Amino acid sequence: MMLILGIALGALAILVSVSLHEAGHMLTAKMFGMKVTRYFIGFGPTLWSFRRGETEYGIKGIPLGGFVKITGMTPQEEDADDPRAMWRYPVWKRTIVMVAGSVVHFILAFLIFWLVAANFSLTNPDNPGPAATDVSKAPAYLTVASCVPKDLTSGDCTTTDGPALAAGLKDGDLITAVGTTQVANYADLVTAIRALTPGTSTPITYVRDGQTSTATVTPVEAQRPPIDNTDGEVKKVAAIGVGLGYDPSKPKTVEYNAIEALPVAGDQMGAAATGVVTSIKNLPNKIPGLIDAIGGGQRDADSPVSVVGASRLTGEAIERGFWEIALLIIAGLNFFVGVFNLLPLLPLDGGHIAIAWFERARSWIYARLGKRDPGRVDYYKLMPLTYAVILVFGAFTLLTVTADVVNPITIFK
């Protein structure tokens, strides 16, 4: 029951954020005097509406988003002759109107990050443990496992007693050397271990409770992707059954008050920006994995999800009582949508912005050359490209929705 309620709350949060996105367009357009005729939540048949001034507000039957109708977004629209048509306004005003939707998502993301930081215990940034995003800066503290997975997409173990555990290593041990190779961070540790020969015993130097000791470990063979988790070739390497752990001398979590949470939210926004750029760059490489997952293959934990998948993950977190995780999922989704909408492709907001500034630049160049202004871009000539973008995005959405239904990602095993 709680899972269903959580999914419903997650879906509602996404619907609200999309509706606020459209409200951002509407309010800035009205602020500049543009004519706004419709603002609706949902699509399809109208369930309820009312008119205030020149704008009709309402709710439609299919709650999958929302829309706002601003007169004359392009010079080719049938109402483009209206003196308050959007295309007649200066390019900077049109840019603000089109950017406003994404700005709303960024504001929502920041507020949610702040809310989480101010009300929940968070991972200590000075002791991130497994949550560390840059393992080249993380000291080589350990978590020690009894199972060494043959690969990272299955639960099959190479052995029932991990080599590190069998050698006496424990959670919280700090590795300083593998054989004769000095280890300065966790990235060094992984690199050194993978370079070992499976089946050959190797001394590993570690620090526990301030005392330096040595354990003899015999690595096993396993398949692993590159250490930076990019979509590189999976190779057979040596493994001993350890992961990145916490510094036992520092607290794992910290709490912030409302003021202290502000810069923390800013840091979260920065991390989200880095994550979104990486996600968009890696999207094409994720498609084969999604297709394989639909056919029954293992679903990668970092594979793309649709709104369906995001709602399910949110519901799962709420069901387990992890409201902070649910909120962080919603914040991350808002940030992603905000960035994605600014891509310079029609029919996205970024496409309209790119065209507006192209027109402005072209007019400026023609004026300097003493030539007649070529006028506005003909959107009808761009329709084939627009339809191609819609087709690609639609196919990708269908792919992720299908994967989220038949082989969903789960937070908790």
List the structure tokens of 337: 């949508």
Distance, in Å, from the CA atom of 275 to the CA atom of 338, rounded to the nearest integer, reads 13
Could you identify the residue written with the tokens 């060094």?
A: 188
Closest CA to 301 of 122, 152, 148, 145: 152
Is the CB of residue 231 less than 8 Å from the CB of residue 285?
Answer: yes
* Percent helix, percent strand, percent coil in the chain, to nearest 5: 45, 20, 35
Beta bridge partners of 57: 39, 50
Which residues are catalytically annotated?
22
Question: Angle at CA 402, nearest 5°, toward 399 and 403?
Answer: 85
CA 240: distance to chain centroid? 31
Amino acid identity of residue 4, one-letter, is I
Question: Angle at CA 194, nearest 5°, toward 124 and 126?
Answer: 10
Q: 3-class secondary structure for 278-337?
A: HHHHHHHHHHHHHHHHHCCCCCCCCCCCCHHHHHHHHHHHHHCCCHHHHHHHHHHHHHHH
Is the CB of residue 34 less than 8 Å from the CB of residue 77?
Answer: no
Distance, in Å, from the CA atom of 397 to the CA atom of 413, rounded to the nearest integer, reads 26
Who's near 382: CB < 8 A, 6+ residues apart?
346, 355
Distance, in Å, from the CA atom of 89 to the CA atom of 363, rounded to the nearest integer, reads 15
Phi, psi dihedral angles at 281 (to 5 degrees): -65, -35
List the structure tokens of 255: 């709490």
Helix axes 2-32, 307-319, angle to 10 degrees: 130
Please state whether beta strands 55-70 and 122-123 pair in parallel, antiparallel, or not at all (unpaired): unpaired
CA 10: distance to chain centroid? 16
CA 407: distance to chain centroid? 19
Collapsed DSSP state (helix, strand, coil) of residue 339:
helix
